[in-house]
Amino acid sequence: MAFVVKFDGKSFSLKSADGAQTYNVSPAQSQSWQAALEKQAKMQGFKSTTELLDTFVVTVPNAGDSQYKIADQFGIGPEGAQAMVEGNVQFADPDLIHTYHEGDLNPDFVTVPVQPEADKPISNKNPDGPVPSSDEPTGQTDGVKKQSAIDTLKNPSATSEQRKTAIATYLDGHSGSVEDRTKAAIELLDPNQDYGEEKVRTAKRQEILDVLVEPSKDNDAKKNVFDSLLEHNWVSKRFDDKSMDKLIGEHAKNKYNIDCDPVKWNR
């Protein structure tokens, strides 16, 4: 099973697949890895090595590993695994990755589109493990979930399934009321967030809408959510209210056969 790359801001280390062992790497390796990961991060749409490692898990292959085996190690299904392979654009031959060896200055770094806190393999996760401390700052936890959702939405290698999971993780923390959940969704729908070119960003915002209304039992409840969004005043330098309202109204109609007030969006 693949090793997980860790970075403390100064040097790199490797964690074993079961999370039980940590292996230090030499200063020469750390220097070489920093340069290699900086280049790889930019190839994969990140601004820096730190942003890459804060957003997704990065691994190096162990004996017998392939990209598909590494995806399976982290509980990623066949569709997600294929997207992961396509997202690792640094490999000339995606079927050929090299086993890491001690002292390796230029290992094959495989990016896994799961959140860093999920870097322990699925098979080793303990559902009966310790519960997070109740005195952990709620706002900080919520902020991390929000940023994680935004980062996943922005990442070109993330699959639809992975985006929806990240969105749900954030929105489910606001399930006390429909109003709170809708306000949280507005943070993700924000037209100032750059989710890619028009067709891509539209599809991603439709995914946010789908996750938002999923708990609503019937179309009347879903319509109330869509109507609430149409009342929001979207502030953006790139888009106006009409374009966001049209996206919301059209999706309600096309996906759920819900007719929102045409005065609000079909203008």
Question: Number of folded domains in the chain?
Answer: 2
CB atoms within 10 A of CB 175: 11
Nearest to 154 by CA among 25, 56, 254, 221: 56
Assess whether 171 and 113 both reside in one domain: no
Question: Same structural domain for residues 156 and 63?
Answer: no
Q: Residue 131: inside a domain, yes or no?
A: no
Tell me, yes or no, whether 94 and 154 share the same domain. Answer: no
Provide the token pair at 35. 């340069």
* Residues 177 and 261 grouped into a single domain: yes
203-216 pLDDT, tens digit per residue, is 999 999 999 999 99
What's CA 91's distance to the chain center, in Å?
22
In a domain, 128, yes or no: no
In this predicted structure, what is the pLDDT of residue 240? 55
Q: Does some domain include residue 132?
A: no
- Residues 101, 144: one domain? no
Q: Of 57, 90, 122, which one is at a domain's C-terminal end? A: 122
Residues of the chain with pLDDT under 70: 117-141, 237-241, 263-264, 266-267
Domain that holds residue 50: 3-122
Together in a domain, 21 and 115: yes
Q: Which of 79, 98, 122 is the last residue of a domain?
A: 122
Q: Are 171 and 181 spatial neighbours (Cβ–Cβ below 8 Å)? A: yes
- Please indicate, yes or no, whether the overall pTM of this predicted structure exceeds 0.75: no
Question: What pLDDT does residue 256 have?
Answer: 94
Residues 109 and 157 in one domain: no
Backbone angles phi, psi at 64, to 5 degrees: 85, 0
The answer on 170 and 114 residing in a single domain is no
Strand partners, 15: 4, 22
Single out the residue in 77, 97, 122 at which a domain terminates: 122
Count of beta carbons in the 10 Å neighbourhood of residue 221: 12
